[in-house]
Amino acid sequence: MIEDVLVQVDKFYYPVDFIVLDTEPIAREPNHVPIILGKPFLATTNALINCRNGVMQLTFGNMTLELNIFHLCKRHPNQDEDEQEKVCLIDTLIEEHVE
């Protein structure tokens, strides 16, 4: 396990622990590194998810960031239907808020 890796979401940095899995590289996206952020990350970020309007609120100290989680998933044209149902929240967060 790798501990206390800083993950940036917009202007906030959160320490996250990772378990590294041996996976095959994804050829269609050169810089694509999938990561799974689960309940520990949501707890660290004090995430509040409003399922009715699809807004996830992350806090850092007294600052707040709101993300519309309904618009965060992108579908790749070559994915089958099962893969399209997976939420790819992290890919979009990285693209929209890290750079």
Contact 56, 66 (CB under 8 A): yes
Token pair, residue 44, equals: 């660290």
For residue 22, the Cα-to-chain-centroid distance in whole angstroms is 20
Q: To the nearest whole number, what is the mean pLDDT of the chain?
A: 71
User: Band of the pLDDT at 83, cuts 50, 70, 90?
Assistant: very low
- In this prediction, residues 70-95 reach a mean pLDDT of 52
Residue 65's nearest CA partner among 52, 51, 53, 48 is 48
The whole-number pLDDT of residue 41 equals: 82
pLDDT tens per residue across span 11-52: 888 888 877 666 666 655 555 556 667 788 888 888 998 988
